[in-house]
């Protein structure tokens, strides 16, 4: 097994001191937070930035950059400078050409909906994804399919096509390339899996971008599980649209962003329209703002936008992607070393066994829901461990793969981030080991 670059214990302790939630105690013990793929914790600088908005300049923003009639005033000027800073931070983070290519959204889900509903696909167009897309990168396209079926009067019209993963459930570039046809208008892929952490490598993304562009299609990347953990450069990789959530990278909840190449954003139909999206209106027509304003309907999550700038600074400048990668790998190596040997026909890990291929994610599954419940409950009651149980919005894939062996819903995921420690992994692994080796001691009576 690979020896990771190690991150000093002192460095992690200093980082942990920034997170007030980690100082809480229940039954004399701190939380062990392993639900980072869902939502990360927030450090004090982000909390301070959010609070500053409400305490110091709690006003509405927007407007002026478009030459519309919002007032010039003290609070708005301050908010405006924070908003510009945050949008430029996202632009720099993603290697976009201009901050105007960044649209604020509530989350990845909303960003993907803006793309799916805005592209004006026609009957006969195809959207390609893999068998394991998150519901947020599946359902919007199924809705587009439904609308096109209605329009074409053809209830059997297929718009979304799916390709399979490799044998070990990791991404298979050849299968993905083979799925792209001259009718493919959109390749919409998850960059990293929230189920098992496996990732599409940069060289593979580039090949996919080249191929989809060759047939005149667009590359949409669901980067919800990658941008919080690794650098992603949209221009170098040839990505046309990218969606991610700030709340998975130390930012305020209900904050996300959509990147779109400007020429594409300019031709994308806005999805949520009304106040703040328009340059002007008349009783019978509307003229929309140029991007990104036309996609940001209504008053925005200004506290979230201010907190976004602070979150990106914290993650990329204060901690840094190298530290994040090294710490996640060390944590996952520890968990894998201890949990992988417990596997049998009643308990196994999802995805490849090599932790280097799974980021900070380790997911265990069992045909016996009681076993998974017992791990979660024991971890919570004994050690304040927070993990995620269920289908992780990967229902379609889990049904396909596990229905019939009775375990589609019986999964438990521990997802680590840079502030987690090896000691926390050990506490979690102790619980897993005890429950898996002695399940009947832990099953509820009822
Ligand atoms: C791969 C992936 N895509 C999309 C999403 C949706 O993110 P959000 O709930 O922030 O919209 C998630 C959330 O876990 C995810 O893991």
Q: What is the mean pLDDT of residues 159-180?
A: 95
Supply the pTM of this predicted model: 0.97
- Residues sharing a CB contact under 8 Å with residue 257, sequence separation 6 or more, in sequence order: 90, 102, 103, 104, 105, 111, 243, 244, 246, 308
- What is the Å distance from ligand 1's center to 193 Cα? 10
Cα–Cα distances in angstroms (integers) from residue 126 to residues 132, 140, 184, 187, 287, in the given order: 18, 14, 4, 9, 30
Which residue intervals of the chain bear CATH 3.40.640.10?
51-315
Could you give the CA distance from residue 301 to residue 83 in angstroms, rounded to a whole number?
Answer: 11
The verdict on whether omega for the bond into residue 292 sits within 30 degrees of 0, i.e. cis, is yes
Q: What is the 3-state secondary structure (H, E, C) of 345-379?
A: CCEEECCCCCHHHCCCEEEEECCCHHHHHHHHHHH
Which pLDDT does position 71 carry in this prediction? 66
* Farthest CA pair distance, the chain: 71
- Residues sharing a CB contact under 8 Å with residue 233, sequence separation 6 or more, in sequence order: 94, 95
Q: What is the mean pLDDT of residues 342-348?
A: 96
User: Which segments of 292-376 are extended strands (E)?
Assistant: 348-349, 361-365
- For residue 61, what pLDDT band results from cuts at 50, 70 and 90? confident
Q: Tell whether the torsion through CA atoms of 262, 263, 269 and 273 is positive or negative.
A: positive
Residue 246 has pLDDT above 50, yes or no: yes
The structure tokens listed for 333 are: 């190596």
Specify whether the backbone of 61 is left (phi greater than 0), alpha (psi in -120 to 50) or beta: beta
The strand pairing partners of 344, in sequence order, are: 347
Q: Does 145 sit in the ligand 1 pocket, CB within 6 Å? A: no
Catalytic, 393? Answer: yes
Q: What proportion of the chain, given as a percentage, has pLDDT over 90? A: 92
User: 71 burial class (0-12, 13-18, 19+ CB within 10 angstroms)?
Assistant: exposed
Q: Does 113 sit in the ligand 1 pocket, CB within 6 Å? A: no
Ligand 1 mutation target, pool 35, 107, 190, 359, most atoms within 8 A of CB: 107
The strand pairing partners of 160, in sequence order, are: 127
Residue 319 has pLDDT above 70, yes or no: yes
Average pLDDT taken over every residue of the chain = 95
pLDDT tens string 76-98: 999 999 999 999 999 999 999 99
Backbone dihedral angles phi then psi of residue 166, each to the nearest 5 degrees: -70, 175
Q: Does 36 sit in the ligand 1 pocket, CB within 6 Å? A: no
**Is 396 within 8 Å of 42 (Cβ atoms)?**
no
Which pLDDT does position 404 carry in this prediction? 74
Q: What is the mean pLDDT of residues 136-145?
A: 98
Q: Does 107 sit in the ligand 1 pocket, CB within 6 Å? A: yes
- What is the Å distance from ligand 1's center to 219 Cα? 18
Which residue intervals of the chain bear CATH 3.90.1150.10?
9-30+320-442
Residue 223 has pLDDT above 70, yes or no: yes
Query: At the topology level of CATH, where does 9-30+320-442 sit?
Result: 3.90.1150
**Is 250 within 8 Å of 36 (Cβ atoms)?**
no
On the CB side of 40, how many CA atoms lie within 13 Å of its CA?
Answer: 30
Atom of ligand 1 nearest to the CA of 256: 10
Ligand 1 mutation target, pool 189, 200, 245, most atoms within 8 A of CB: 245
Backbone dihedral angles phi then psi of residue 108, each to the nearest 5 degrees: -60, -40
- What is the Å distance from ligand 1's center to 147 Cα? 24
pLDDT tens string 251-271: 999 999 999 999 999 999 999
- What is the Å distance from ligand 1's center to 79 Cα? 28
Could you give the CA distance from residue 230 to residue 240 in angstroms, rounded to a whole number?
Answer: 19
Backbone dihedral angles phi then psi of residue 187, each to the nearest 5 degrees: -110, 110
pLDDT tens string 261-312: 999 999 999 999 999 999 999 999 999 999 999 999 999 999 999 999 999 9
Q: Does 112 sit in the ligand 1 pocket, CB within 6 Å? A: no
CATH number of 51-315: 3.40.640.10
The structure tokens listed for 244 are: 């991610």
CB count, 10 Å around CB of 220?
27
Q: What is the mean pLDDT of residues 385-414?
A: 91
- For residue 1, what pLDDT band results from cuts at 50, 70 and 90? very low
Give the 3-state secondary structure of residue 271. Answer: coil
Q: Does 105 sit in the ligand 1 pocket, CB within 6 Å? A: no
Q: Does 109 sit in the ligand 1 pocket, CB within 6 Å? A: yes
Could you give the CA distance from residue 372 to residue 410 in angstroms, rounded to a whole number?
Answer: 6
């Amino acid at each position: 097994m690979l020896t990771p670059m190690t991150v000093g214990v002192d460095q992690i302790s200093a980082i942990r001191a920034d997170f007030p939630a980690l100082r809480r105690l229940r039954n004399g013990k701190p939380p062990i937070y392993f639900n980072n793929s869902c939502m990360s914790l927030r450090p004090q600088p982000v909390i301070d930035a959010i609070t500053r908005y409400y305490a110091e300049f709690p006003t509405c923003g927007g407007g002026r950059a478009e030459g519309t009639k919002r007032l010039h005033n003290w609070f708005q000027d301050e908010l405006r400078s924070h908003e510009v800073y945050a949008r430029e931070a996202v632009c720099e983070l993603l290697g976009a050409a201009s901050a105007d290519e960044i649209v604020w959204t509530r989350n990845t889900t909303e960003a993907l909906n803006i793309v799916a509903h805005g592209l004006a696909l026609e009957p006969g167009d195809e959207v390609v994804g893999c068998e394991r897309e998150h519901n947020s990168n599946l359902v919007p396209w199924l809705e587009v399919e439904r609308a096109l079926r209605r329009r074409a009067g053809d209830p059997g019209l297929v718009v979304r096509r799916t390709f399979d993963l490799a044998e070990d459930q990791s991404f298979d570039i050849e299968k993905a390339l083979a799925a792209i046809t001259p009718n493919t208008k959109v390749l919409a892929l998850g960059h990293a899996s929230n189920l098992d952490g496996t990732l599409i490598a940069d060289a593979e993304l580039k090949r996919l971008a080249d191929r989809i562009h060759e047939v005149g299609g667009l590359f949409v990347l669901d980067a919800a599980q990658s941008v919080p953990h690794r650098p992603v450069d949209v221009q170098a990789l040839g990505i046309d649209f990218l969606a991610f959530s700030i709340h998975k990278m130390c930012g305020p909840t209900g904050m996300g962003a959509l990147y779109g190449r400007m020429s594409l954003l300019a031709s994308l139909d806005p999805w949520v329209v009304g106040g703040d999206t328009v340059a002007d209106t008349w009783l019978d027509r509307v003229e929309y703002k140029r991007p990104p304003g036309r996609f940001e309907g209504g008053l925005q999550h200004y506290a979230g936008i201010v907190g976004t700038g602070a979150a990106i600074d914290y993650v990329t400048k204060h901690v840094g992607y190298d530290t994040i990668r090294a710490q996640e790998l060390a944590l996952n190596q520890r968990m894998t070393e201890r949990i992988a040997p417990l596997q049998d026909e009643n308990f196994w890990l999802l995805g490849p066994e090599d932790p280097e291929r799974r980021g900070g994610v380790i997911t265990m599954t069992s045909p016996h829901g009681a076993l998974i419940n017992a791990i979660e409950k024991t971890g919570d009651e004994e050690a304040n461990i927070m993990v995620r149980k269920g289908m992780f919005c990967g229902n379609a894939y889990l049904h396909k793969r596990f229905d019939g062996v009775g375990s589609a819903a019986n999964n438990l995921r521990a997802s680590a981030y840079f502030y987690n420690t090896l000691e926390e992994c050990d506490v979690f692994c102790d619980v897993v080991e005890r429950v898996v080796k002695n399940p009947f001691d832990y099953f509820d009576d009822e």
